[in-house]
Amino acid sequence: MRRPAVRSATFAVQSFLVLSLGMAAPISAQNGHAAHSHDTPAGTPRVGTPSDLSVYNLEGEWLDQTGKAMPLVHLTGRVRIVSMVYTNCAFACPMLVADMKRIEASLPKKSRSEVGFVLISVDPERDTPERLLRFADSSRLDATAWTLLNGADGQILEMGALLGVKVRKMPDGEFAHSNVITILDQAGEIAHQQVGVSQDPGESLEVIRALLR
């Protein structure tokens, strides 16, 4: 399938709004819901075509925790729960990951193959694929459900702008960033955002259930 142009007019407008407002406006779970197949084998979701408003239209090479190139288009086909973190974080990031694991544990078993979890590092220099793999192992993240991504600084800033995540490197080398968990629909559009840590996942679970209908 042919990917839509990365810099379509609608995509450029969305980028401008996000950069101006500092937060991506959530899109209704029923709005722009991409068709998906329930007969796809577990663990191998069908790769589709991002919509014009999909964050998967971002260009650039990303690496997953195994060191493999991961074009964002490969994330289509599943509902994705996304957060921007870094593995040396001792405070908010572990709580964000715990919140995502709480969402994962609350999903019905029959739905788990249709939902994936993505951690995007804001610290690519230290969070090499090897480091991300060790973090995934120590955090007991299921490799069939969790994708950890390393990208260039510019890609991370652009992704942060689209997801409404502000990132700032501190003088001591640590990072200040917004604590946001984003739910993307099967085409990569923002369906819901959970802001803050240790939040009740009830609303997020309702959105996920609606997307999987």
Q: Does 124 reside within a domain?
A: yes
What's the alpha-carbon Rg for the chain, to the nearest Å?
Answer: 16
Find the Cα–Cα–Cα–Cα dihedral 111, 115, 104, 106, rounded to 10°.
-30
Give 32-82 pLDDT, tens digit per residue. Answer: 333 333 333 334 445 567 788 899 999 888 999 999 999 999 999 999 999
Q: Provide the percentage of residues in the chain whose pLDDT is more than 90.
A: 65
Q: Does 194 reside within a domain?
A: yes
Q: Does 3 reside within a domain?
A: no
The number of distinct structural domains making up the chain is 1
Tokens standing for 196?
A: 């803050």
Pairing of strands 115-121, 79-85: parallel
Q: Does 4 reside within a domain?
A: no
Structural domain boundaries enclosing 202: 9-212
d(CA 142, CA 123): 22
Find the Cα–Cα–Cα–Cα dihedral 97, 79, 199, 172, rounded to 10°.
40
